[in-house]
Amino acid sequence: MWEIIYQLAPYAPLMIFVAAVSDIFFITGLFLYGAAMMSSIAMMYSMGMISLEALLLASYSGTLVGNTLNYWSGRIFDKAPVVEQKLQHPKIQKGREFLRTKGLFFYILICRFFMFTRPLYALVLGSLRINYRRFIFYESIVALAWVALWTAVLVQGEAVVREFVI
């Protein structure tokens, strides 16, 4: 078993990238929760299968790609009759204006840290036609903080386990 795992080591960054996209993408993100991904990454990192730099780069780029896919999916689906009708509601218009003027960063920040909103918020922002440059600017900052937080948890957890086991 260990031999098979070590043979996959060169593909670890690619696997982490795909897992990060799958964790964020709205079609898969609602049922593929990141806990399984984090335990697999912890195993790969503790066994030396992936460097910290590769881990950060793969996770960060996968997160950005997943939410960019969500954003553009929202832009495509906003013309669907059901969605278009919902977007005309006065409360939605008020929310759109709030996001366009001052609330976008906090919306992204808050939604990133809730399991059920994480795969959906970029989809909503795309359907509301929030400016892509503003979206990706704030998304880049929040995604970096998100990846850094979970990487720190993973590295510190690995260090604690190593201290008690070895």
Domain limits, the chain: 2-165
Dist. CA 62–CA 64, nearest whole Å: 5
Dist. CA 90–CA 130, nearest whole Å: 17
DSSP string, 22-36: HHHSTTTTTTS-HHH
Dist. CA 70–CA 96, nearest whole Å: 17
Q: Cβ distance 81 to 40 under 8 Å?
A: no
Q: Cβ distance 63 to 143 under 8 Å?
A: yes
- Sequential pLDDT tens for the chain (166 residues): 667 777 777 888 888 888 888 888 877 776 666 666 777 777 777 778 888 898 899 889 999 999 999 999 989 988 777 777 777 778 877 888 888 888 899 999 999 888 788 888 999 899 888 999 999 999 999 999 999 988 888 888 766 666 776 5
pTM of the model: 0.82
